[in-house]
Amino acid sequence: MCYKYCKNYPPGCECLCSSSLIGSVFIRSRSRLQEQEQQLRTSSLPAIPNPFPELCSPASSPVLSPGSLPPGEPSAEIYIVKIFSEDGMGKVVEIPADMTAKDLCQFLVYKSHCVDDNTWALVEHHPLLGLERCLEDHELVVHVQASMNSESRFLFRKNYAKYEFFRNPLTFFPEHMVAWCQETNHTIPQSQLLQNFLATSSCPEIQGHLYMKEVGRKSWKKVYMFLRRSGLYCSTKGTSKEPRHLQLLADLEDSNIFTVITGKKHHGAPTDFGFCIKPNKGRGEMKELRMLCAEDEQSRTCWMTAFRLFKYGIILYQNYKIPQQQKTLLSHFSTPVRSVSENSLVAMDFSGNIGRVIENPLEAQSAAMEEGYAWRKSTNEHIGFLHPCFTLPCIFFSKFTKPSNVFSAVIHMTQLWFHGRITREESHRIIHQQGQVDGLFLLRVSQSNPKAFVLTLCHHQKIKHFQILPCEDDGQVFFSLDDGTTKFTDLIQLVEFYQLNRGVLPCKLKHPCTVVAL
């Protein structure tokens, strides 16, 4: 039985890729988002009991909400912003003065036909200093751009860890680094730990040793530090917390925290886990930067996450919850958009003499699955679609290779998680940039064995590599990462299996490393 899908829409219907329709739909949806966001800011937070409702009032919020501007600044003025993707290509965008980072990310997602899963981020990148940070969703893009140098730029990329600490706070805050946990004998419920960081009335404190670069020198000094709502302090006498022994290093309100991406190379850092506190209004000179370095990735993540929570508080929680509660409002951003008439698609059965509309949803779903997998099962029919000049750099074939083996060797090349022939170091860089959450993965061609592939996977903030080897059975090539115990006809089937089953992996495949060209 042959199934196809019929697309019926009136002549002259315009694709949503056009700038006019994108702009009008985006502006209308954005205004609705702001109205809904205003209502949500004044309501209680359902996921975690809210012991501080007064913080949800916009009047008490220290951060500008979308649409609000300082007195005298014209809201109708248009600004030019250039956004760069991972491949180095840039796109110029015209934005209003009150556009937030979240608004701009949604527009870029919509423009690039990506899936809006609330994991996209706008990154402030300083190449000469080797610093970068993800903008918070509520930050005004124009205000951030005004504080950037001429060589700095905005990047558009995935960041799966942007709000991961709301889902697994105990993973982000080790008990030995939270002073409050030490004082309560380590009996802290997960929800109460979050509330103490969000509430301005509580006084949590992050403590521990950090390496600090001395001002005007190349040397680094290991000191004991404390991070509080009032700022970052270092102890001048061991681990003493007495006020006379504490020295203020940075004020959170007037600073931002950045990841140091070239710590060892450019700054002589003792480890690879560097971060930096940079004044908002500074010119970006080295003497204005507070360069710090942790001993491991978990410690660095803890310090940087606590900095964000102390600075923005309940605003971060609102940024996290609002998109989840507004899925219906953002439905037209949630999937790649093809045309205005996409909703008019109907399932059709053309197996008989006359086409028949499939009205039974179960039959339609079965037809879609059969249609989706039929092209992968066939052999000679689909090989004709390959261009004569199409090269296969990943696996070597002989003249006796079956056509199905050839097709299985190339169908993964269009997948977002496949990154081709990149180095081990490059795969580490991509994983680091996109969040280092459990299940973050990519596939690449093996450097040591050109016939094999490598699955790069993040688990517990550590990056692990698993080799995928081809194995032959009855003249057909299969792929396996457990020495042939579990075999797959192609890499897509392999990924789909380990997205549902952990198997020999430390965790399931959850988040594909995605690189999108603007």
Q: Is residue 186 part of a domain?
A: no
Considering the domain boundaries, does residue 5 fall inside one? Answer: no
pLDDT of residue 468: 94
The pLDDT score that the predictor gives to residue 260 is 94
pLDDT tens for 301-319 read: 999 999 999 999 899 999 9
The reported pLDDT for the residue numbered 234 is: 94
pLDDT of residue 43 exceeding 60 = no
The verdict on 72 and 35 lying in the same domain is: yes
Identify whether residues 303 and 329 lie together within a single domain. Answer: no
pLDDT of residue 412: 76
What CATH number is attached to the domain comprising 119?
A: 3.10.20.90
What is the Cα–Cα distance from 394 to 379, expressed in whole angstroms? Answer: 19
pLDDT tens digits for range 501-516: 999 999 999 999 988 7
What CA–CA distance (Å, rounded) separates 293 from 274?
4
Calculate the average pLDDT of the chain: 76
pLDDT at 427: 94
pLDDT at 396: 40
Where among 264, 282, 312 does a domain terminate?
Answer: 312
**Nearest-CA neighbor of 272 among 440, 462, 454?**
462
Please give the pLDDT value at position 477.
87
Q: Hey, how many other C-beta atoms are within 10 angstroms of the C-beta on 170? A: 15
Same domain, 25 and 157: yes
Task: Using the predicted structure, report yes or no on whether residue 27 has a pLDDT greater than 50.
Answer: no
Tell me the per-residue pLDDT of 90-148, one tens digit each, with 9 for 90 and over: 899 999 999 999 999 999 998 888 888 889 999 999 998 899 999 999 999 999 999 89
Whether the predicted pLDDT of 428 surpasses 90: yes
pLDDT exceeds cutoff 90 at 23:
no
pLDDT at 176: 87
In this prediction, residue 76 carries a pLDDT of 66
Whether 238 has a pLDDT exceeding 80, the answer reads yes
Is 364 a domain residue? Answer: no
| Mean pLDDT to the nearest integer, 426-431 | 93
CB 144 within 8 A of CB 124: yes
Q: Model confidence at 494, in pLDDT bands (50, 70, 90)?
A: very high
Q: What is the pLDDT of residue 405?
A: 54
Mean pLDDT, residues 55-80: 50
pLDDT tens readout for residues 332-358: 444 444 433 434 455 666 666 666 767
For residue 339, the model assigns a pLDDT of 37
Counting residues of the chain whose pLDDT is more than 90, the rounded percentage is 41
In a domain, 400, yes or no: yes
Together in a domain, 157 and 36: yes
CATH number for position 226: 2.30.29.30
134 and 157 housed in the same domain: yes
Q: Please give the Cα distance from 17 to 129 (Å, whole number).
A: 37
Reduce the secondary structure of 428-489 to three states and give it as a string.
HHHHHHCCCCCCEEEEEECCCCCCCEEEEEEECCEEEEEEEEEEEECCEEEEECCCCCCCEC
Confidence category of residue 208, pLDDT binned at 50, 70, 90: very high
pTM confidence score: 0.69
- pLDDT at position 517: 75
Identify whether 355 is part of a domain: no
Task: Give yes or no: residues 42 and 139 share one domain.
Answer: yes
pLDDT at site 114 = 83
- CATH code, domain carrying 420: 3.30.505.10
Residue-wise pLDDT for 117-133, tens only, equals: 889 999 999 998 899 99
For residue 234, tell me if it sits in a domain: yes
Q: How many domains does the chain have?
A: 3
**Is 112 exposed, middle or buried, given 0-12, 13-18 or 19+ CB atoms closer than 10 A?**
middle
One domain, residues 299 and 328: no
Please state the rounded mean pLDDT for residues 375-398. Answer: 39
Give the domain range for residue 240.
201-312
Choose the weakest-confidence range: 4-8, 140-144, 369-373: 4-8
- Check if the beta carbon of residue 309 is closer than 8 Å to that of residue 229: no
How many other CB atoms sit within 10 Å of the CB of residue 89?
Answer: 10
Distance CA 292, CA 300 (A): 9
For residues 154 and 230, state if they share a domain.
Answer: no
Say yes or no to pLDDT of 411 above 80: no
Examine the domain organization and report whether 146 and 214 are in the same domain. Answer: no
- List the single range of 143-152, 157-166, 366-375 with lowest mean pLDDT: 366-375
Same domain, 229 and 99: no
pLDDT of residue 187: 62
Classify residue 4: in a domain, yes or no: no
- Span 448-466, average pLDDT: 92
Is residue 24 located within the same domain as residue 136?
Answer: yes
Instruction: Give the C-alpha separation, 46 to 52, whole Å.
Output: 13
Is 290 inside a domain boundary? yes
CA dist 277 → 173, 290, 291, 367, 458 (Å): 20, 5, 7, 56, 27
Q: Is residue 434 located within the same domain as residue 507?
A: yes
Interval 381-394 mean pLDDT: 37
